[in-house]
């Protein structure tokens, strides 16, 4: 550990970056999708006849909210395996 090469430093930074990217990146989608899911449950409780439509809308909204989580995943994998 005494002589840390430049390449080691870069790899270490990439690993820390990957953890932070995936860790922080997971917060937003988790909260946001949960919120959307909650509103869907409320809406279905109020109008059960439209359950199919409401579930579809919920899933579309969650898929969009998921995208940032997937961006984080991709960047984390890139940091670990590619750069």
Query: Where on the chain is the footprint of another protein (CB under 8 A)?
Result: 1, 4, 8-9, 11-20, 22-42, 44-46, 48, 51, 54-55, 58-59, 62-63, 66, 69-70, 72-73, 76-77, 80
What minimum distance in Å lies between the beta carbon of 51 and another protein?
6
**Cβ within 8 Å of residue 62, ≥6 positions away:** 33, 36, 37
**Cβ within 8 Å of residue 25, ≥6 positions away:** 68, 69, 71, 72, 73, 75, 76
What minimum distance in Å lies between the beta carbon of 72 and another protein?
7
Query: What whole-number distance in Å separates Cα of residue 37 and Cα of residue 43?
Result: 10
What minimum distance in Å lies between the beta carbon of 74 and another protein?
10
């Amino acid at each position: 550990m005494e002589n840390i090469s430049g390449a080691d430093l870069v790899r270490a930074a990439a690993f820390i970056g990957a953890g932070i990217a995936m860790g922080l990146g997971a917060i937003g989608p988790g909260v946001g999708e949960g919120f959307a899911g909650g509103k869907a449950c409320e809406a279905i409780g109020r109008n059960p006849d439209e359950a199919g439509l409401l579930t579809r809308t919920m899933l579309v909204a969650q898929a969009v909210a998921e995208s940032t989580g997937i961006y984080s995943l991709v960047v984390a994998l890139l940091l670990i395996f590619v750069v």
